[in-house]
Amino acid sequence: MRPSVVAAILLALSTVVAGQQPRPPARTPAPRTPAAKPPAKSAAPPAREASVPFRVGETLTYDVSWSQFLTAGTATSFDSARAWTHLQKQVAFGPRPAGSAALDACRKYILAELKAAGIEARQQVFMAMTPLGEMMMANIIATIPGRRSDRIVLTSHYDTKRSPDFRFVGASDGASSTAALLELGRVLKQRQNELTIELLFVDGEEAVNWEWRDPDNTYGSRYYVAAAQKANTLGSIKAMVLLDMIGDKNLLVKRDANSTPWLVDIIWNTAGRLGYRSSFSMEVGAVEDDHVPFLRAGIPSVDIIDFDNYVRYWHTAQDDLAHVSAKSLQIVDCLVEARHAHLLRPTQCIQGLHAQWNVVRSRHATRT
Ligand code: 1BN
Ligand code: ZN
């Protein structure tokens, strides 16, 4: 099992928000894998601190460990076998387009699994105007409270593409990211997180018509953002990470040109450092997906999507169990966990963050 850095990450994120020193872990830190440095002796920040000026492309090196922030050596880790079970169960419901009985069953499954993990969840039911008329849809919003109410939203769509001509079960496109998110939730719930984590399972990502043509897509994410805007709660979302189509046996995720550049940079840098470069390509693609409504609302967002290798199975009957793997889910989990640490904004979070940084800031970098 792989020790997680989630607690460390969220602890450090508090520095971003409040500019204060991170607190030391409650218990003895676990060793970091696989490229861990030994834990520093104390949680004292390095000498070079918050007032350090940064420039675009500047590289900073912090020669200390971040493992000191880990909660405990026994922390629950992501279990790809559990995630795989979630994936299989969803596929077993059959095609799950918005408004279908199968999606309703899938929704109940997600809610039951969240409950079993001790995670509070609510349904956000809404009526969507689609090319087929008004359709009832429901997002699932699960909350893992942190020390702070500021939150990171981790998102997956759980509906599958409506397909009149063949049986589409969305093993990767729908089930894989939802499975990973459920398992991530179980792991994160076991930890004391600094920031609140929101697991957002959105309905109606897929177009009701065969073609992806606005506004016939991303119904759930658009509704979520509009509702948050109305409730004036958007400001507490510090970042949104979207997972989509992450089950491919030969996972290959390109950098998405629509995503927030600094967020993409730090995730891809993390992937490289962790040895996942073969799955996280430095090539660039551009995808429209559930991150777009968040981006439009000014929230730093990134889409981690394999729209490259898997595109041959995309929206085909071959998006099935034969073409996905548990291993791919595990790889993305490690990356997602690592990326939390890197969400720290360098100018604000330098205190107490002990890692090697390659800071590439862009005009999109800062959201205050
Ligand atoms: C992702 C999975 N998408 C649909 N199912 C969004 C998308 C639409 C990605 C068009 C690429 C092209
Ligand atoms: Zn799709």
Cis amide linkage into residue 261, ω under 30° from 0: no
Burial (CB < 10 A; 0-12, 13-18, 19+), residue 101, is: exposed
Question: How many angstroms separate the CA atoms of 323 and 191, rounded?
Answer: 33
Cα of 263 from ligand 1 centre, angstroms: 20
Band (pLDDT 50/70/90 cuts) for residue 343 is: very low
Q: Give the mean pLDDT of 12-26.
A: 30
Cα of 289 from ligand 1 centre, angstroms: 6
Q: Who lines ligand 1 at CB under 6 A?
A: 173, 206, 212, 244-245, 287-289, 307
CB atoms within 10 A of CB 286: 12
Q: Give the mean pLDDT of 302-319.
A: 94
Average pLDDT, the chain: 76
**Per-residue confidence (pLDDT) for residue 75, from 0 to 100:** 67
pLDDT tens for 50-84 read 333 334 443 333 322 222 233 434 567 889 999 99
Question: How many angstroms separate the CA atoms of 356 and 5, rounded?
Answer: 15
Measured from the alpha carbon of residue 243, the closest ligand is 1
Measured from the alpha carbon of residue 168, the closest ligand is 2
User: At residue 153, does pLDDT exceed 90?
Assistant: yes
Looking at ligand 1, which residue's alpha carbon is closest to its atom 11?
287
Burial (CB < 10 A; 0-12, 13-18, 19+), residue 80, is: buried
Q: Give the least confident one: 8-22, 284-298, 316-330.
A: 8-22
With pLDDT > 90 as the criterion, what percentage of the chain qualifies?
A: 56
Question: How many angstroms separate the CA atoms of 267 and 96, rounded?
Answer: 31
**Per-residue confidence (pLDDT) for residue 20, from 0 to 100:** 29
Q: Give the least confident one: 51-55, 215-219, 279-283, 349-353.
A: 349-353
Question: How many angstroms separate the CA atoms of 94 and 170, rounded?
Answer: 9
Looking at ligand 1, which residue's alpha carbon is closest to its atom 2?
173
Among candidates 114, 131, 318, 125, which has minimal Cα distance to 217?
A: 131
**Per-residue confidence (pLDDT) for residue 51, from 0 to 100:** 32
Q: Which residue has the higher pLDDT, 272 or 45?
A: 272
Measured from the alpha carbon of residue 244, the closest ligand is 1
Burial (CB < 10 A; 0-12, 13-18, 19+), residue 81, is: exposed
Q: Give the mean pLDDT of 145-170.
A: 94
User: Domains (ranges, CATH) in the chain?
Assistant: 40-65+76-335 (3.40.630.10)
Q: Give the mean pLDDT of 244-257.
A: 95
**Which uninterrupted H or E stretch holds 234?**
none
Q: What angle do CA 301, 360, 19 make, to 5 degrees?
A: 75
Q: Give the mean pLDDT of 280-296.
A: 96
**Per-residue confidence (pLDDT) for residue 84, from 0 to 100:** 97
With pLDDT > 70 as the criterion, what percentage of the chain qualifies?
A: 69
**Per-residue confidence (pLDDT) for residue 7, from 0 to 100:** 31
Whether 32 and 70 have beta carbons less than 8 Å apart is answered as: yes
Mutate which of 288, 312, 316 for ligand 1 pocket (most atoms within 8 A of beta carbon): 288
Question: How many angstroms separate the CA atoms of 31 and 70, rounded?
Answer: 8
Question: How many angstroms separate the CA atoms of 107 and 170, rounded?
Answer: 15
Mutate which of 243, 289, 304 for ligand 1 pocket (most atoms within 8 A of beta carbon): 289
Q: Note the pTM of the prediction, 2 decimals.
A: 0.77
Band (pLDDT 50/70/90 cuts) for residue 333 is: low
User: At residue 8, does pLDDT exceed 50?
Assistant: no
Structure tokens at 205: 């990502």
Mutate which of 211, 212, 219, 291 for ligand 1 pocket (most atoms within 8 A of beta carbon): 212
Cα of 95 from ligand 2 centre, angstroms: 12
How far CA 58 is from CA of 53, 195, 277, 346, in Å, comes to: 10, 27, 22, 11
Bridge partners, residue 157, by sequence:
202
Band (pLDDT 50/70/90 cuts) for residue 335 is: low
Q: Which residue has the higher pLDDT, 152 or 166?
A: 166
Mutate which of 173, 307, 308, 319 for ligand 1 pocket (most atoms within 8 A of beta carbon): 307
Looking at ligand 1, which residue's alpha carbon is closest to its atom 3?
289
User: At residue 316, does pLDDT exceed 80?
Assistant: yes
Q: What is the DSSP string of 243-287?
A: EES--BTT--EEEETTS-HHHHHHHHHHHHHTT-TTTEEEEEE--
Q: Which residue has the higher pLDDT, 74 or 271?
A: 271
Q: Which residue has the higher pLDDT, 73 or 200?
A: 200
User: At residue 137, does pLDDT exceed 90?
Assistant: yes
Nearest atom (ligand 1) to Cα of 174: 2
Measured from the alpha carbon of residue 245, the closest ligand is 1
Q: Which residue has the higher pLDDT, 24 or 157?
A: 157
User: At residue 99, does pLDDT exceed 90?
Assistant: yes
Q: Give the least confident one: 168-172, 312-316, 344-348.
A: 344-348
